[in-house]
Structure 1
């Protein structure tokens, strides 16, 4: 399973994801730094990237929440 950092990398980086989701590149960079896709962005993410279903986003969130805090900070 991918994480938020990999998702953004796989889709062209913060600028490309920001453009696709109508967000600011700085906001998407925060997603990468936090390694978390915010729930308020999920509708735009699912619309822009159809492979990112609600089930996938929920699984990513659960995996991130279950990871040790030091692993998320790296």
Structure 2
């Protein structure tokens, strides 16, 4: 995800770059909240930890795909 974000960030300028940076910051905050919620509601144990890791990976993968789509335009 970082590579896709950096590629796009260096390609953009001005207000488009600022919008991207704001959107990425907002996504990071949302991801942190989702991780906290997963932790609070997910229970304990190894299975719960694996489910949290899988959910985090899915969120990151989805965001990376979004950024890569923007970069291909």
Larger Rg: 2
- Bigger RCO (CA 8 Å, 6+ sep): 2
TM-score w.r.t. the length of structure 2 is: 0.31
